[in-house]
Amino acid sequence: MVVHSGSGYNLRMHTETYDYIIVGGGSAGCVLANRLSRDPATRVLLVEAGGRDDWIWIHIPVGYLYCIGNPRTDWMYRTSKDPGLNGRDIHYARGLGLGGCSLINAMVYMRGQARDYDEWAQLTGDSSWNWEGVLPQFKRHEDFYRGASEHHGAGGELRVEEQRLSWDILDRFAEAANQAGIPKTDDFNRGNNEGTGKFQVTQKTGVRWHAGKAFLPTDTEARRHNLRIVRNARATRLLFDGKRCSGVEILSQHRDATVQWQALANAETILCAGSIGTPQLLQLSGVGQAALLQQHQIPVVHALEGVGANLQDHLQLRMAYKVKGIKTLNTMANSLWGKAMMGLEYALRRSGPLSMAPSQLGIFTRSSGEHATPNLEYHVQPLSLDKFGDPLHPFPAFTASVANLRPTSRGHVRIQSARHEDKPEIHCAYLSTPEDRKVAADALKLSRRIAAMPALAPYSPEEFLPGPQFQTDEQLAVAAGNIGTTIFHPVGTCKMGRADDDTAVVDTRLRVRGIAGLRVVDASVMPTITSGNTAAPTMMIAEKAAAMILADRATA
């Protein structure tokens, strides 16, 4: 039966029942769907708002330039105007489609530091989240190009390889970093990522290897009849039976019609919608800060102050330098001949500039001696542009982006209405603490010191962003606000914590406090941000969560 509602939706009055409902087919959701559907007796529904990955630019690594800022693959969020960015708001890309942010991210495989997970264990009181506890979860789904070892796994679903190109300008920058006292490393993923080296990436022979492709290849549904993947579908509201989550309300797009239906979960509903989508759905459903829900006339199902709070992100400061006498992507990409040669190299060898991740050279170091482990990450690129989506500059240049790995600033995600169509407020509060402003100034000074080393002198590097006119610490903090932008690592908005932590949304088994049958499994559960890119840690969380979910069901 189909009836027409005043809302404009076609309401298909039906309900479907599963054991597990997974909301969000991103990096975490794909891992969970794979693991939970291995048992053919377990019925799993995966709800994904995006469509299929049948666009060529998803698979060609450099296609991130076309995927970010494109509503086909990006939720197209914007932040609120941020005082720390000198009043600017910025585009806040989040991946849309099966694979989530791994469809559009930098492909950098980065676990972070052992101290990150040891800190999680200390903050939550659960030693299973320490480095020794999570390392096997990283290795379980890894397929490392050098094979299995003490630190890496082989034969898993997630392929990790070296990049298939090199740039002289990046080699010279790496040499300059060595001259500045930063050592070399050949692997950032052994628990101590200090050093200068090339990023390892989630690619397979020069093709992006996103989470959907890795964990849910196109024949998965045919092989696993107990797994249903619904694309172009959005969970709009959680359903409750008292203090138990019973399922979700879903809007699905079928050809030209939008239909509304319900899915019920016998076991659990699992939110994997990310650090923006998960708190938004909880708030829309009546779980969150009571005052916020009442402001939007949403009945309070369960008051949890931490929902949407504790937002953390890595702010990258994009210093750019003009150079002479050395090749960069700017000059190649602005030439028809250069474009033709890049296309030919990729077609024949799956190598060259079209195979490159946004960043090839990485550096992890300290902004000052007071830090026991590296608190800065560099992404060094053989190109320059004003912002993602803009054309490359018409002169040879490189960019040295540097991020504070452990910011003390905290922002929030809050709904702005009771309508699921309305995007939430994303307030990052960048550079809102004295500590973060000091690290920003120190980081810019370190970048200048590296650029002044003899290895780069033959190429006459000339800083044009932010510009040499910024000299004092306060001026450099202002400059950081001018050139700073997200590196797309939001975490923490549904953090896990101890029972006596009033700001914790989930416990250490990722169950939502005070609500039965509901878990959160994505980057929003991180109590503190990891010291590096966040895709690999998010998949690790899902791997660990799958084991906990299956263990809990076995003992229920």
Q: What are the residue numbers of the active site?
A: 489
* Under 8 Å between Cβ of 314 and 404: yes
Pairing relation of β-strands 44-47 and 227-230?
Answer: parallel
CB count in 10 Å sphere of residue 83: 13
Instruction: Tell me if residue 119 falls in helix, strand or coil.
Output: helix
CA 496 to the chain's CA centroid: 18
Dihedral-angle region of residue 123 (phi above 0 means left; psi in -120 to 50 means alpha; beta otherwise): alpha
* DSSP codes joined into one string, 501-529: -TT--B-TT-BBTT-BTEEE-SGGG-SS-
Q: Find the radius of gyration of the CA atoms of the chain.
A: 23
Q: What is the C-alpha to C-alpha distance for residues 107 and 200, in angstroms, rounded to an integer?
A: 8
Nearest to 126 by CA among 446, 548, 546: 548
Q: Are 112 and 193 in contact (CB under 8 A)?
A: yes
Indicate the DSSP class of residue 458: G
C-alpha neighbours within 13 Å on the C-beta side of residue 406:
18
Selection from 230, 235, 216 nearest residue 277 by Cα: 235
Going from the C-alpha of 442 to that of each of 175, 320, 475, the distances in angstroms are 21, 17, 12
Cα 54 to Cα 50, 70, 361, distances in angstroms: 12, 15, 30
Burial of 502 (0-12, 13-18, 19+ CB in 10 A): exposed
Type of residue at 504: A
Mention every residue, 6+ apart, whose C-beta is less than 8 A from residue 245: 238, 239, 265, 268, 269, 512, 515, 516, 517, 518
Closest CA relative to residue 380, chosen from 202, 197, 113 = 197
Instruction: Give the residue ranges of DSSP H helices in 401-555.
Output: 434-451, 473-483, 535-555
Of 329, 378, 453, 356, residue with least CA distance to 185 = 378
Give 512's strand partners: 506
Q: Which two tokens stand for residue 123?
A: 């903050």
Cα 76 vs. chain centroid, distance in angstroms? Answer: 14
Contact yes or no for 293/375 (Cβ under 8 A): no
Determine the residue type at 441.
Answer: A
